A and B are shown apart, each in its own frame.
Chain A
Amino acid sequence: MRIGVVTFPGSLDEVDAARAVRLAGGEAVALWHGDDDLHGVDAVVLPGGFSYGDYLRCGAIARFAPVMRSVIRWAGPPESASPGLPVLGICNGFQVLCESHLLPGALVRNDHRKFVCRDQRLRIERNNTRWTSRYGDGEEIVVPLKNGEGGFVADVPTLDHLESEGRVVARYLGGNPNGSYRDIAGVSNATGTVVGLMPHPEHAVEEGFGPDRDAAGRLTNTDGLRFFTSVLEGVLTA
């Protein structure tokens, strides 16, 4: 399976995302922001970092990049009942997905106004998405989190809609790191093909390089890898 990883001007984590795809057993295909050709990939990852200086608002200019025209077209409308191209947006990629209106809500500056960088405990609350099917229902994981503008916000009817439809994919545990409404760390579109996530699963995919959870101090955590193995499973039967 071929997974495209987009590079925007200012992307930081596309190399780690491509590495995560390869470690999961997929083929990583480099996509360029200025090229609207998706080169026939089966899914797309929008990586973390920044894009176009994040001028105006994070992801606001990236949303109009040629590559995003194609991503938006193939992903389909967020409330559609027919599944489109699977897309995972991580951190800045999540911001781009919200600005693209492929996902509801928006990401704003952390409520405490400081950049946050830490290992973050999460609960996977929706495992019938294309990106989380390899997690248990309600499974708790730890992956790195690093953001300055990671506060997920939306109006109350939108939040209620997301909750009632079971579209909160992941929620923060052990303290809200950025002021996200209802501790929301990630959401999905109606069919679970498009997922946005503020924390970084691609930084927890290989032993020796992830968050530290081992009693002996060894870095054994690979909790993030299953985001990338999940999408390889193909069409969901859920």
Chain B
Amino acid sequence: MGRVVIDVMFKPEILDPQGKAVAGALARLGFTEFTAARQGKRFELQVDGEVTEEVLDRAREAAATLLGNPVIEDVVRVAAAPEGDAQ
């Protein structure tokens, strides 16, 4: 069984209110070295068998169709999950 990991982030020019809230909380907790935060989404898609180049292509297609909205988001990573990566 293989898994594909897909990371989606807001485009830099799109305001990220959740990231802003996280940055505010970090500062209040004393993590003052972190001057900004952006929050994204991680998807894990499972397949029977190995993650081939074809599977990755299909995952990229799924990311472009549904998982990310190209108007506001960038798909920043589509990759096979490393072996033994925690579920």
B18 contacts A by Cβ under 8 Å: yes
Q: Is the CB of A110 within 8 A of B17?
A: yes
CA distance A154 to B67 in the complex (A): 18
Q: Is the CB of A106 within 8 A of B17?
A: no
A60 surroundings in chain B (CB, below 8 A): 66, 69
Q: Is the CB of A113 within 8 A of B71?
A: no
Q: Is the CB of B72 within 8 A of A99?
A: no
Q: Is the CB of A57 within 8 A of B71?
A: no
A32 contacts B by Cβ under 8 Å: no
B36 contacts A by Cβ under 8 Å: no
A98 surroundings in chain B (CB, below 8 A): 71
Chain B residues 1-59 with CB under 8 Å of chain A are 10-11, 13-15, 17-18, 20-21
Q: Is the CB of B72 within 8 A of A109?
A: no
We find that the number of chain B residues with CB closer than 8 angstroms to chain A is 14
Residue among A57, A99, A155 with max Cβ neighbours from chain B (10 Å)? A57
Q: Is the CB of A113 within 8 A of B69?
A: no
Q: Is the CB of A113 within 8 A of B72?
A: no
A56, A61, A154: which contacts B71 (Cβ < 8 A)? Answer: A154
Q: Is the CB of B72 within 8 A of A106?
A: yes
B15, B21, B66: which contacts A151 (Cβ < 8 A)? Answer: B15
Main secondary structure of the interface of A (DSSP, over half): loop
Q: How far is the CB of A39 from chain B (nearest CB, A)?
A: 28
A99, A105, A153: which contacts B15 (Cβ < 8 A)? Answer: A153
Q: Is the CB of A99 within 8 A of B69?
A: yes
A61, A104, A113: which contacts B21 (Cβ < 8 A)? Answer: A113
A108 contacts B by Cβ under 8 Å: yes
Q: Is the CB of A108 within 8 A of B66?
A: no
CA distance A98 to B38 in the complex (A): 23
Q: Is the CB of B17 within 8 A of A111?
A: yes
Q: Is the CB of A64 within 8 A of B71?
A: no
B17 surroundings in chain A (CB, below 8 A): 108-113, 179
CA distance A106 to B17 in the complex (A): 15
Fill in one digit per residue for A171-193: 1 if any B CB lies within 8 Å of its CB, else 0.
Answer: 00000000100000000000000
Fill in one digit per residue for A148-180: 1 if any B CB lies within 8 Å of its CB, else 0.
Answer: 000101111000000000000000000000010
CA distance A113 to B10 in the complex (A): 16
Write the residues of chain B forming the contact surface with A, with a CB cutoff of 8 angstroms: 10-11, 13-15, 17-18, 20-21, 66-67, 69, 71-72
Nearest 6 interchain pairs by C-beta = A106-B72, A106-B71, A109-B17, A113-B17, A153-B14, A111-B15
Additional pairs, 15, CB under 8 Å, beyond known A105-B71, A106-B71: A56-B67, A61-B66, A98-B71, A99-B69, A106-B72, A108-B10, A108-B17, A108-B72, A110-B17, A113-B17, A113-B20, A113-B21, A153-B71, A153-B72, A179-B17
